[in-house]
Homo-oligomer: A and B are copies of this chain.
Amino acid sequence: MTSSPRSPGRPRAGIDDEVFAAALRTVDELGYPGATMDRIAAAAGVAKTTLYRRWPSKGALITDCLIHTFGPLPPADDALIETAIRWLAGKISEPGVGAAFAGVFVDAYSDPTLRELLSTRFQAPYLEALQAKLDQPEAEILLLIDVVAGTMLHRMGITGSPMAKTDVTALTDMVLGHFTGGRRSRTR
């Protein structure tokens, strides 16, 4: 009684994966503004109205897409911060991901609803995971996230392409220097 096994009516078709893939493909080809809801729908072989039946806005769709694409933080026994930074850099480099990330971020800049979604559904899990494993106050973890994500997005916005490995290393170095009390963690 706690959960009805199924509700009446036609069941929803399992199209989420297809839609997410189509969204990333379209964003990669045409950029975030060019990735129209019409075009995403067409690329996914789905009607636009179906998209709006499931996601309240384009931003919400892309946010869901990002959540699905990024998935959980990879496990790291030892060098958590290094691992997380390189993981994020790798994800952002995947086709469409960086542009989608930046685009939804910009949308959220002036849409409180979307900002809430982005903060609660996308960022919060990573915040909690980091907080659980890193013995640091919340403010420091939030700064860590701002620095890492902000830097990569800024770089991609200015240059149009993701960060080079060298710079990712430098960024890692800089962050680690702060979080390990000024000592370098190791020369790798």
Contact residues in B for A153 (Cβ distance below 8 Å): 150, 153-154
Contact residues in B for A160 (Cβ distance below 8 Å): 112, 115
Are B110's CB and A33's CB within 8 A?
A: yes
A166 to B143 alpha-carbon distance, docked (Å):
11
A115 to B154 alpha-carbon distance, docked (Å):
12
Interface presence of A20 (CB below 8 A): no
A118: contacting residue among B140, B158, B175, CB under 8 A: B158
Interface presence of A174 (CB below 8 A): yes
Contact residues in B for A166 (Cβ distance below 8 Å): 139
How many A residues touch B, CB cutoff 8 Å?
48
A150: contacting residue among B123, B155, B174, CB under 8 A: B155
Interface presence of A17 (CB below 8 A): no
A116 and chain B: residue at smallest CB distance: B160
A106 and chain B: residue at smallest CB distance: B106
Are A157's CB and B112's CB within 8 A?
A: no
Are B154's CB and A171's CB within 8 A?
A: no
Interface presence of A147 (CB below 8 A): yes
Contact residues in B for A119 (Cβ distance below 8 Å): 158-159
Are A158's CB and B110's CB within 8 A?
A: no
Interface presence of A75 (CB below 8 A): no
